[in-house]
Structure 1
Amino acid sequence: MPKRRFDGCGGGGGGRGRTAKPPRRHLYLVLDDWSIGYSIRKIDLSSDFDSEDSDQLTAAHGPISSNGKRRLPSAVFRFQAQRGLPMYFADAFDSKIMAMHPITPGINGMLPWVPERLVPVFDVRMRSVIFGPRQIPDLDDPIYIPVGGRLFALSTGSFQLLYPPPGDNDESGSEEEEGWVWSWRQPPFKRKHVTAYTIHPDGRTIFISIKKRRSATTFTFDTAESALRDDCTWKQHGNWMLPFSGRAYFDSVLDAWVGLSRDSGTLGQLCSCDVVSTSPIPTLRSTICKELFVENPVMRRVGATLLYMGNRSKFCLVGCICIKDDSVDEIKDGYVGEMTDGSVGGANEDSVHEMNDDPVGELNEDYEMNDDSGMNDSKLEEQHVSPHSGYFLRLKTFFLMYDKNGDLKTGKHIQVRCYDVPITVSESIRKHPVAFWM
């Protein structure tokens, strides 16, 4: 295993007195709307809080469609992989989307375009593709956990660590081969029992909660300590559970973890939890935010993914919504949704709609596979316009805060964008939307 240590800071010095401007971030949406794989679409959310003028927003983003929802932006990248497997995507090393799907002999009779021992890694900053090492054997229902400059993968019977590749300015050719490497570490619990996971604000300790029958336990893993000692040491943190379902994020303003609730009475609602110490016997206090989840007899939420957008407690909730068949005609002149004041109604001036992004460009000339069925790009784009598909994606951007009673609430404005879901998108992707903020 590599001896070189990574501090997760990206390395490099720089001129004194200069502060590098952070790169502009976007939402990247992954859909299996391609017959032999996935597309990645780039959505700019920066204007959601840059303007309160609806005329200005309309001018910037273009008119809305007849059913009140926008067509998805054009794909910036497409790649071949087995469809319907959202769990094999990971965000890592700040700007990279990794697709670590199991090896398949070919899709629709086509030969795979990626060597069997490699996986494609799309760099959203460079708009380029590199290749990383495949996990052997293929993992079963993995959970990917980015921590600083490394990526951890928890699966049935294994806990693997991926070291990042050498930097562009790294002249040490001797370390190039070992730059991308998975090392094996055995967890003291089974993947199927995991209910929630998050990172402590110390930036190095992983918290994972498990539930087995009626017993509950939370484990911690100090990534820095384990790397220093070159071993894998899990510590049982107590017989309690994080109140989340899946991934939660730490927000420094709230001084709390934020995620989606796993409790049966508040399943899928926003939930915050006080950060516990890395020492045993913590005191847990959690609060629920119900403002984003107004009951609507016309719509049913199929699945949701919460994204943390950085400082000032800013989040984006990416939800897939199902519209009842007999209600499709009712939304032709404006989608039925939850407005910024929590009410239910048609599209109004607070709704923001996204224009098409840049075309695929030169990147797809090298890496996009052609479908033997004869479906060209124009036909692929036609699939994106299906007002009767019954599903749409709703992107809600908002700030979180505590009220005077200490309860979690949203800020004054909740910006909403809606997009038609292509009819070819699988049920698994609808239930577990794949989106990244980077």
Structure 2
Amino acid sequence: MDSGALELCCMPRDQSDSDINGDGKWRRWQQLPRSPFTRLDVTSYAVHSDGETILFSTNGDNGSATFAFDTRRFLWTRLGEWSLPFAGRGHFDSGLHALVGLDSENLGYLFACDVPSTNRRCPVPAWKRSKKKVFRESPADRHVGATLVYMGCRRNFCLVECVSVEVKENNADQMLLEKPGGVPQRSRYMYRLMTFTLKYDKMDNLRVKHGRVQYYKVPKKATTDFVCADPVAFWL
């Protein structure tokens, strides 16, 4: 998806594929039906649990709406005048049978949203917000941006959070503001990676079970507004 265009490029199935020039390379880009909204109006998106449909929520001049794009039939369906509750990318978790994403209005919380129907108009799906934040609440860390990564196993996630950290004069490579003593001299950007699991408790509340937390320096050459506001991570 790009500005004013929606295109598809598929891997070859085998050497007999008529769209291949005999060298086994990928097919050429194929233009698809244009989206019924402007790309810049997209507020959230996710791949449906069927693995074949992409959901898009938008907020434009005509208000909020959610659309489904069928990648097999190349068809758009307007699901309703509502938006998915999370911001940016959502991830389908088979254990929760829900779409999981970050809350945009209340920073640090998570949403788990029921998976909507995709072949017809439907009401706003039910959702729950986590009881606890996943962002670090520390006077030494200033939140800059975050990305949620699904790690491929049931309920296992990784939060990639970019924070601005004040560093002390006595050891520039250690974050020591949580300990007494030392005078802050400067700040640097760090990636804070936290792995965690999600589950519903006995009261059907969405609970976060914290796991391992690690910090990584962001190289100065990579310290740009884009890298810090939208930290990128890959899980293989």
Following TM superposition, by how much is the alpha carbon of 1:282 offset from its aligned partner in structure 2, in angstroms? 2.7
Separation (CA, whole Å) in 1 of partners of 2:171 and 2:96:
37
State how 1:172-211 maps to structure 2 within 5 Å.
172=16, 175-177=19-21, 179-185=26-32, 186-211=34-59
2:100 is equivalent to residue 258 of structure 1: yes
Per residue, is there more helix in 1 or in 2? 1
2:145 is equivalent to residue 321 of structure 1: no
Paired position in structure 1 for 2:71: 223
RMSD, aligned CA:
2.6
State how 1:277-316 maps to structure 2 within 5 Å.
277-278=117-118, 279-289=120-130, 290-316=132-158
Q: 2:188 aligns with which of 376, 387, 390?
A: 390
Following TM superposition, by how much is the alpha carbon of 1:213 offset from its aligned partner in structure 2, in angstroms? 3.9
State how 1:134-149 maps to structure 2 within 5 Å.
none
Going from structure 1 to structure 2, the CA distance change for 1:405 and 1:294 (only over 3 Å counts) comes to: farther
2:110 is equivalent to residue 270 of structure 1: yes
Structure 1 unaligned residues grouped into runs of 5+:
1-153, 227-232, 338-344, 347-386
Following TM superposition, by how much is the alpha carbon of 1:311 offset from its aligned partner in structure 2, in angstroms? 2.1
2:3 is equivalent to residue 161 of structure 1: no
Paired position in structure 2 for 1:116: none
Paired position in structure 2 for 1:335: 175
Report SS of the residue matched to 2:143.
strand
Cα deviation, 1:351-407, whole Å, max 9, x if unaligned, reads: xxxxxxxxxxxxxxxxxxxxxxxxxxxxxxxxxxxx965111111111111122222
Tell me the amino acid that sits aligned with residue 121 of structure 2: P
Paired position in structure 2 for 1:414: 211
Tell me the amino acid that sits aligned with residue 247 of structure 1: R
Paired position in structure 2 for 1:63: none
Going from structure 1 to structure 2, the CA distance change for 1:205 and 1:171 (only over 3 Å counts) comes to: closer
Matched-pair contact (CA < 8 Å) for 1:305–1:432 = yes
Report SS of the residue matched to 2:107.
coil
Separation (CA, whole Å) in 2 of partners of 1:330 and 1:172:
66
State how 1:78-117 maps to structure 2 within 5 Å.
none
Matched-pair contact (CA < 8 Å) for 2:114–2:126 = yes
Going from structure 1 to structure 2, the CA distance change for 1:242 and 1:330 (only over 3 Å counts) comes to: farther
Going from structure 1 to structure 2, the CA distance change for 1:225 and 1:322 (only over 3 Å counts) comes to: same
Per residue, is there more strand in 1 or in 2? 2
Following TM superposition, by how much is the alpha carbon of 1:408 offset from its aligned partner in structure 2, in angstroms? 1.6
Report SS of the residue matched to 2:72.
helix
Following TM superposition, by how much is the alpha carbon of 1:183 offset from its aligned partner in structure 2, in angstroms? 1.3
Cα deviation, 1:96-125, whole Å, max 9, x if unaligned, reads: xxxxxxxxxxxxxxxxxxxxxxxxxxxxxx
Going from structure 1 to structure 2, the CA distance change for 1:155 and 1:335 (only over 3 Å counts) comes to: same
Separation (CA, whole Å) in 1 of partners of 2:171 and 2:195:
22
State how 1:341-380 maps to structure 2 within 5 Å.
none
Separation (CA, whole Å) in 1 of partners of 2:195 and 2:98:
19
Tell me the amino acid that sits aligned with residue 432 of structure 1: D
Query: TM-score, normalised to structure 1's length?
Result: 0.47
Matched-pair contact (CA < 8 Å) for 1:389–1:423 = no
Separation (CA, whole Å) in 2 of partners of 1:207 and 1:330:
50
Q: Matched residue pairs, number?
A: 224
2:229 is equivalent to residue 431 of structure 1: yes
Q: 1:404 aligns with which of 199, 202, 207?
A: 202
Going from structure 1 to structure 2, the CA distance change for 1:394 and 1:294 (only over 3 Å counts) comes to: closer
Separation (CA, whole Å) in 1 of partners of 2:135 and 2:155:
19
Cα deviation, 1:338-359, whole Å, max 9, x if unaligned, reads: xxxxxxx57xxxxxxxxxxxxx
Going from structure 1 to structure 2, the CA distance change for 1:330 and 1:287 (only over 3 Å counts) comes to: farther
Separation (CA, whole Å) in 2 of partners of 1:213 and 1:173:
44
Tell me the amino acid that sits aligned with residue 159 of structure 1: L
Structure 2 unaligned residues grouped into runs of 5+:
180-184
Matched-pair contact (CA < 8 Å) for 2:108–2:134 = no
Query: TM-score, normalised to structure 2's length?
Result: 0.84
Following TM superposition, by how much is the alpha carbon of 1:211 offset from its aligned partner in structure 2, in angstroms? 0.4
Going from structure 1 to structure 2, the CA distance change for 1:331 and 1:391 (only over 3 Å counts) comes to: farther
Going from structure 1 to structure 2, the CA distance change for 1:246 and 1:305 (only over 3 Å counts) comes to: same
Going from structure 1 to structure 2, the CA distance change for 1:330 and 1:200 (only over 3 Å counts) comes to: farther
Paired position in structure 2 for 1:246: 88
